[in-house]
Structure 1
Amino acid sequence: MHARIDAGAASAGRDPAAVKRIYNVFGLVTGGPSLDAFQWPASRWVEELTTLVIEGGMDTFIFGPGDDVVRQVELFAAEVAPAVREAVARERR
């Protein structure tokens, strides 16, 4: 799909690199392992989102917590987002 987006942008005279690749992720940051999809500890979120950036070409994530919204957004902002930035920076070096 990224190739189609890139081709469309180029044919419209836009730089494909300027197109944001946004991915909505819905779930919960948990305190430990869970069998439920997208209900993971921060470390697993970091692994999954880093993979989506490095291998999938995504550059922006919108987090939608399923419960306890304020606390979940705080956890995501404090524990997941900075760690993903660091992991991506390490991978790109």
Structure 2
Amino acid sequence: MSNCQDPLIVSLSFESAMKQLEEIVRKFESGGLTLEESVVAYERGTKLRKHCDELLKHAKLRMEQVNRNVEEDTSVHSIALDSEDTSNHS
């Protein structure tokens, strides 16, 4: 599902990835990172953000599919009811 190449990140749930991303942000805000630690944290944070974006995109697509299925079912049900109404009036 994820285009992120880090298997440790790809295996994370959305909630776990967000928690790690929030921790990275806290470290940046505290200002206690060396330059190298900052670069490493930034790289990981970027991968985590991308993974979260992809998980959200996938969830959105799933919800849109559910909505389409519900609309199609409602439409089919409505057509069936309409045809029953016309056959009962004949």
TM-score, structure 1 as length reference = 0.33
Higher relative contact order (CA 8 A, sep 6+): 2
Name the one with the larger helix percent.
2
TM-score, structure 2 as length reference = 0.34
Name the one with the larger strand percent.
1
The structure whose Rg is larger is 2
